[in-house]
A and B are shown apart, each in its own frame.
Chain A
Amino acid sequence: MFRRLGGPNVEGRWARFKDSGETRPVTEVALPGGSSETSGAVTPAPARRVRPVHQVRRPSLWTRPVAWGHTGSVPNSARRRFLATALVPLIGLALVPSVLAVQHPVNALDVASSGADLVVQIVLTITGLLLLRDHEHRRSGLLLVLAGAAIGIADLAWTDLALTGGWWLQVGWWTHWSAVVFLLPVLLAYPGARMARRNHEALVGLMALVLLGWRGVEALLFHPAFTGYDGPIRWVSLPGTSLELYGSARMVGVALVGGLCVWLAVAMIQRWRRARSIARWPTRMTAGIGIALTMALAVRVGTEYALERGWVTPAWADTVDVFQQLLLAAAPIGLLILALRTAVRRGAVLERLFRAAGDPVAVEQLLRKELDDPQLRLLYPVGSFWLDGQGAIVGETPDPPPPRPGRMLCGLCSRGDNGSSAEQATDASTPPDGPNVLVDVDEQAQLDPVRLRTTLTATEMVLENIRLAVERDANAAEVATSRTRIVEAGMAQRRQLERDLHDGAQQHLLTVATTLSRARMAAEQQQMRATLDQARTQLTTALAELRNLARGIHPAGLSQGGLVTGVRGLVSGDQDLLIDVGPGLDAGARAPEAVETAAYFVVAEAVTNARKHADTVHVAISMALRDSQLQLVVADTGVGGARLCPGGGLAGLADRVVALGGTFALHSPVGGGTTVTVVLPCTGAPAPKGARGLT
């Protein structure tokens, strides 16, 4: 097929026999397509050769679903063995004619053509075998192998066999275009499993009818005897045919192929324009190949028509043939590139995935890039929720969340036994245990089913890692929030305790004070008044102690006036203490209550420590609220050497700060003073509104 095209290859064959000195008579054969041309002496450069083609169309190949496609199952070994036993002899046999044609060349051009045919045949076969590995492409792979075989069969016309008798020449002539018939469904489907459009199927069917059926009719209307040949070659002809009839049929064929070429060109251009998503590149590649093939066909029929009309010379037609062959060579090479790319790619994806495994975000990024889908998400079941890679809840039931419009959910299972689980969830049915991870992917990813499947299957290999990482992160986040909740609950309890003290014991004691006061007013005796004064003094002491206790549990000034007020109340009367109120706080801004309380107690503890242990002369407190962070530094000029010891006051406060998501740093070199630095994030709710305003 990829050889230069021309009339039945009688003349060239003959020439070779003539040159080889055989006794067989040289018959000058007129070109069936150009009957006006006399069958003169054989020229070194053969004129157009036309090879009849015969190939029974098997519509089942592109209408019946291929048994192992789209089922999600992988062909069993018996089917593989059948395929191997059927294909290997076919491939082997199909190579024979091409090899023979190369071995016995008529001339240099013939060597080139036959050699090119052989190369193309091998390339198509290799590509076909590569595609056979993926069940989605098994049909395409098989068609490519058949196309390669068809080229071999067409090359029958170029072997010695064809000149020694039999119907070989007719068979070769007939099957000349059969490879195109096998190639077209691949070019219209790849990277999909099959053609997506009915009109494409109709186009392929009509092409097969014309290139095989009508060409068969042409072959039956021809006979070598029309050219005066009388040799051992056998040819099946219809009774009553004539050269004129053949010529008319030929022109009809030319017209039909020309018309279908237009349709084909439109179909391929549409395919190019509609290419999208991950299938864009391979679709455009096959569409490009298809356009080249269409041009080759069009050039061929155009040349034939022009020759018939006598518009061009046969030599010119030969030149055009070279151009046409170059176009045709694009098909197998382009397809091989596509197949190799797929094969190389899947290895690279796996390697990148292994490298990213353990980092769910990196895996997600990788899949987004690989499947050309910036909205792709991985969804993980954690507990009875579905989380995305950032830990946000996307579904609150154990059942998978519904897919978003235009998108689908693919379930991945690390327990998958045959790597086919990716498809099982594609049709929304979940495996018995439920998927370990869901992939939220654009529905258009199905345009390249092999890339989708291989990428998802590769992901399944690292699934356990990323799932565990997400679970770990979710658990860590849960632990952190529960710690915060516990600390906040503890603070709320202290606040409640302080209020209970204030509303209960303190009010009762104050009431006692009023009663004592009344008693003292009413007391007549000096001694009684003295005793009551004593009781009053004792009560005042008790009240003061109670007040200090309540303040230690939860400073009332903190809730009312905020951190600055609370700290001022804490250290009031301390002459050697400096308070620096930084940005935010000096404008009266408030941090969340839990943050303020934690900061307050850090200051209280640090100041107490400074006073108690550090032989301190000066203490400086610096507070600021900026960028939603409360920054707090308490520094003294004491002896230093402070440490966080378990169970100690500072250690407890450090825990509390960390539980609120903050950082706690203690810098205390011996002799170098002590500095406590605390940063607390203020992301929670601010302090109660009623507590604002008066500072």
Chain B
Amino acid sequence: MTATTSALNDDGPLRVVLADDSGIFREGLRLLLESAGVMVLDDVDNVPRLMSCVARHRPDVAIVDVRMPPSHTDEGVQAALALHRDAPETGVLLLSTYVETSWVSRLLEECPGRFGYLLKDRVDDIQALLDALGRVAAGGLAVDPEVVQLLLTAHRTPDPLSRLTDRERDVLALVAQGRSNTGIASHLHVSPKTVETYVAGAFRALDLHIDQDDNRRVRATLAFLNAGNSPAHRRASKTQG
């Protein structure tokens, strides 16, 4: 099965740990991942255990829930930052019940790679989950389409994005999710060359100058989209409008 194969990296099956304070969800996710060929080394219900567990197992990816004890607000985000500092070889895939864009920019600043941010709902699509895990384990980025969508629509007029064609905008959204040109091409059922043209056109229109390195262009795109939320940009757009 393709799912099983994609769960393998060069050294064998993907090794992950789970951190979520809901035991039943942890169990369900563990079963799902294991049936997809992912090796779940351990599952824990709080941040301190996650840290020691990561230190012990050195997994490829830690799947971390955003809301965990004690305050049930953003412990997972703090844990992601701590893991990036303490265990840089371990990727972090954050799972969140809600779409929350406010952390993304800071997380992207702090974590140049090995980072993903998905809605928990994605667990119903094992392919998307494995795809994101694979990208994070390979040192890339994986951002939920809904988060990207939110950043795109939150952008205000006069909007540089309005200078893009619909197709260019679709491609840009996929770029922001962390997909490669090839991945985008297969997703849109077009040739990689066409995708390259769209991406180049979009970047030109947005005055973004970036090379083909996936992570850098994803981060640049996200940062650009995210800038729509920054006060400076908003004021500027207000005065213009």
A residues with CB within 8 A of B: 499, 502-503, 506-508, 510-518, 520-522, 536, 539-540, 543-544, 547, 550-551, 556-557, 559-561, 565, 568-569, 572-573, 575, 578-581, 586, 688, 690-691, 693-695
Most buried by B among A543, A556, A568, A578: A556
CB proximity to A under 8 Å, residues B58-79 = 67, 70-75, 77
B1 at the interface (CB under 8 A from A): yes
Q: Mark B1-37, 1 if CB is under 8 A from A, else 0.
A: 1010000000000000000011011011101100110
Please give the distance in Å from B233's CB to the nearest CB on chain A: 12
Query: Would A572 and B154 be within 8 Å (CB), given that A517-B124, A579-B234 are in contact?
Result: yes
Question: Are the CB atoms of B71 and A510 closer together than 8 Å?
Answer: no
Known: A502-B67, A506-B97, A565-B102. A514 touches B150 (CB 8 A): no
Interface residues of B in 96-154 (CB under 8 A from A): 97-103, 106, 120-121, 123-126, 150, 153-154
Residues of B within 8 A of A586 (CB): 231
B98 near A551: Cβ-Cβ < 8 Å: yes
**Are A521 and B22 also in contact (CB < 8 A) when A514-B28, A568-B102, A580-B238 are?**
no
CA distance A460 to B100 in the complex (A): 65
Q: Do A694 and B153 form a contact, CB below 8 Å, given A507-B22, A510-B28?
A: no
Interface bin, chain B: 35 or more
Closest to A516 in B: B124
- With beta carbons under 8 angstroms apart, the residue of A514, A569, A694 that contacts B29 is A514
CB–CB B231/A514 < 8 A? no
Pick the contact of B97 from A547, A569, A694 — CB < 8 Å? Answer: A547
B101: chain A residues at CB < 8 Å are: 568-569, 572
Selected from B25, B74, B75, B156, the residue in CB contact (under 8 A) with A507 is B25
Known: A502-B97, A517-B32, A521-B126. A695 touches B74 (CB 8 A): no
A586 CA to B231 CA, complexed, in Å: 7
The residue from A507, A514, A580, A695 contacting B102, defined by CB atoms under 8 A apart: A695
Is the beta-carbon distance between B22 and A568 smaller than 8 angstroms? no
- The answer on a CB contact under 8 Å between B154 and A573 is yes
For the A-B complex with A557-B98, A559-B73, A561-B100 known, give 16 more contacts whose Cβ atoms are closer than 8 Å: A499-B72, A502-B67, A510-B121, A515-B31, A516-B124, A518-B31, A521-B3, A556-B98, A557-B102, A565-B100, A565-B102, A568-B154, A572-B101, A690-B73, A691-B73, A695-B102
Q: How far is the CB of B47 from chain A (nearest CB, A)?
A: 11
Instruction: Check B31–A540 contact: CB distance below 8 A.
Output: no
Q: Can you name the residue of chain A whose Cβ is closest to the Cβ of B151?
A: A572
Q: Cα distance A513–B122 when bound, in Å?
A: 9
- B191 an interface residue at 8 Å Cβ cutoff? no
Task: Determine how close the nearest CB of chain A comes to the CB of B196; give it in whole angstroms.
Answer: 30
Other-chain contact of B35, A508, A510, A521, A569 (Cβ < 8 Å): A521
Q: What is the minimal beta-carbon distance from A571 to any residue of chain B, in angstroms?
A: 9
B-chain residues with CB within 8 Å of residue A521 when the two chains form the complex: 1, 3, 35-36, 126
Asked if residues B31 and A510 are in contact (CB atoms below 8 Å), the reply is: no
Residue of B102, B123, B231 touching A561 (CB-CB under 8 A): B102
Return A405 CB to nearest CB of chain B, in Å: 48
Distance from A521 Cβ to chain B, minimum over Cβ atoms (Å): 6
Please, which residues of chain A bring their CB within 8 A of the CB of B28?
Answer: 510-515
A565 partner residues in chain B, CB cutoff 8 A: 100, 102
* CB neighbours of A517 from chain B (8 A): 32, 123-126
User: With the chains together, A510 CA to B32 CA distance in Å?
Assistant: 12
9 A-B pairs (CB sep. < 8 Å): A506-B97, A514-B28, A514-B124, A517-B125, A517-B126, A521-B36, A536-B125, A550-B97, A575-B156
The reply to whether B98 and A513 contact each other, CB–CB distance below 8 Å, is no
- Residues of A close to B71: CB separation below 8 A: 688, 690-691
Do A514 and B31 touch across chains, with their CB atoms under 8 A apart?
yes
Pick the most buried of B35, B97, B99: most chain A CB atoms within 10 A of its CB. B97
Q: Which residues of A contact B1 (CB under 8 A)?
A: 521
Interchain CA distance A506-B9 in the complex, whole Å: 32
B32 touches A560 (CB 8 A): no
| Contact of A514 with B32 in the complex, beta carbons under 8 Å | yes
Q: How far is the CB of B70 from chain A (nearest CB, A)?
A: 8
Please indicate the chain B residues that have their CB under 8 angstroms from the CB of A573 in the complex. 150, 153-154
- Tell me the nearest residue of chain B to A499, going by C-beta: B72
> How many Å from the CB of A531 to the closest CB on chain B?
14
Indicate if the CB atoms of B124 and A507 lie closer than 8 Å. no
B residues 29-63 near A (Cβ < 8 Å) are 29, 31-32, 35-36
CB-CB < 8 A to A556: which residues of B? 67, 73, 97-98, 100
Complex interface: chain B residues within 8 A of A510 (CB) = 25, 28, 120-121, 123
Q: Cα distance A503–B31 when bound, in Å?
A: 20
Bound together, the chains give a CA A561 to CA B3 distance in angstroms of: 36
A569 touches B100 (CB 8 A): yes
Cβ A514 vs Cβ B25 within 8 A = yes
- In Å, the complex CA distance between A312 and B25 comes to 123
Are B100 and A539 in contact, CB atoms less than 8 angstroms apart? no
- The CA-CA distance from A458 to B135 in the complex, in Å, is 87
Smallest CB gap from B75: residue in A: A690
Q: Are A503 and B21 in contact (CB under 8 A)?
A: yes
- How near does chain A come to B26, taking the closest CB pair, in angstroms? 9
